[in-house]
Structure 1
Amino acid sequence: MHSQAHDVSAPSLLEALRTGTGLLHVALEKRLPFFSEHLDADGYRQLLQAYYGFYRPMETALYGCGFIPEGFDQALRTKTPTLVRDLHALGLNDAAIDALPRCDHLPAFDTPAACLGALYVLEGATLGGQVLRREMSLRLNLHADNGGAFLNVYGAETGRRWKDFLDYLNSQPLDASATQHAVIAARSTFSGFEQWLDSQEVLL
């Protein structure tokens, strides 16, 4: 496979992903209700239920596809178990969690590049979670033990794990075509997440 490292005119995978998803990222952030004065404890629980309805099938499909390039520690980075713990803390039992609606319109994880694009979105979300965690702690008194763990899923390791993920991305020898496939998958993940949250009526 041709490595884009030998093509000085080609943007890095990270640059391509940032540029390709920037507008979608901003648009979704504007619709998330974390900073809305109307968000209360019930609204937060509904939001987290909707997050679970996307993350559970997303991670199941992505981590089970067999195309993630070597070097990604999915056991260390799976988010669904933390969402389950939060939902338990918010009053849902296992039966109630299993009964929650789940998204069935997911990107196709049929190439390593597509996996990298989706992982970029999921891992990037951990950075934004730091800001949301502080807001939910102040306004709803949520912390790691009573329903706020997902917003701080990596805790003190957030910065380190993001840097490690960027190093992982930069180590992938994708050509221009594969890079474009990664961007398409990242965009599909963003738009699919927004459409799912919209369908669950939890967005502004």
Structure 2
Amino acid sequence: MHSQAHDVDAPSLLEALRAGTALLHVVLEKRLPFFSERLDAHWYERLLRAYYGFYRPMEAALYDSDLIPDGFDQAMRVKTPTLVSDLHALGLSDATIHTLPPCTDLPRLDTPAACLGALYVLEGATLGGQVLRREMAQRLGLDADNGAAFLDVYGAETGRRWTDFLDFLGRQPLDTPARQRAVDAARSTFSCFEQWLDSQEVLL
């Protein structure tokens, strides 16, 4: 571990994550079809299938790693069950959901710092949920009860949970190399997610 003196002028973990992922975030957001005039119910269902194919193995890898630092409220933040509920609401059976292809090209989650970087991406993805949900309600008639709960998975708690997550990040005593591992994992999470969605042909 580097001494604190060596890291005085280094960016905070949050600053490093924001700077390191900003461009990847913009690129992916532009390719997501939620605001496309061509998005229909079939495309939406395929998109949700693809999200499930990423989130299920991703969350399993994260939460089975035993590397997430203490203080992360995993039980309140796991999102795969909400995706399953949405897929059920869209008419998919358990058997069909079980056969959906999983993403196998996941980021390396072999250190606590890497887990933090991946969590930063997954938690940050919740922030635009209310806007997406309103758009899907207007465009496709979808809401929390019939297939769009995942889009606003935290609902009214979104802001508070993001603040709580940032507080959690801020308490992590990461030195400069560890912060870089977190950034690398966050970047890899974005890249793996985009490549997976691309392979499922659900992006613009």
Q: Which TM-score applies when normalising by structure 2?
A: 0.97
Structure 2, gaps ≥5 residues long: none
For 1:172 and 1:5, locate their aligned partners in 2 and report how far apart those are by CA, in whole Å.
17
Q: Counterpart in 1 of 2:56?
A: 56
Which residue matches 2:153? 153
Give runs of aligned pairs for residues 90-129 of structure 1, distance below 5 A. 90-129=90-129
Q: Determine if contact 1:4/1:173 at 8 Å carries over to the other structure.
A: no
SS in 2 for 1:127: coil
Residue matched to 1:11:
11
Deviation at 1:82, TM superposition (A): 0.1
Percent identity between matched residues is: 78
The question of 1:136 aligning with 2:136 is answered yes
Displacement of 1:73: 1.0
Paired with 2:195 and 2:92, the residues of 1 have a C-alpha distance of 24
Post-superposition CA distance 1:111-131 (Å, at most 9, x none): 000000000000000002222
1:158-197 mapped onto 2 (5 Å cutoff): 158-197=158-197
How much does 1:7 deviate? 2.9
| CA offset digits 1:62-105 (Å, max 9, x no partner) | 11001000000111100000000000000000000001011001
- The count of corresponding residues between Structure 1 and Structure 2 is 204
Any gaps of 5 or more consecutive residues in structure 1? Answer: none
Aligned partners of 1:5, 1:40: CA distance in 2, in Å?
55
How large is the Cα RMSD of the aligned pairs?
1.2
Equivalence for 1:28: 28
* Equivalence for 2:38: 38
For 1:130 and 1:63, locate their aligned partners in 2 and report how far apart those are by CA, in whole Å: 26
CA gap 1:5/1:21 in 2 versus in 1, 3 angstroms: farther
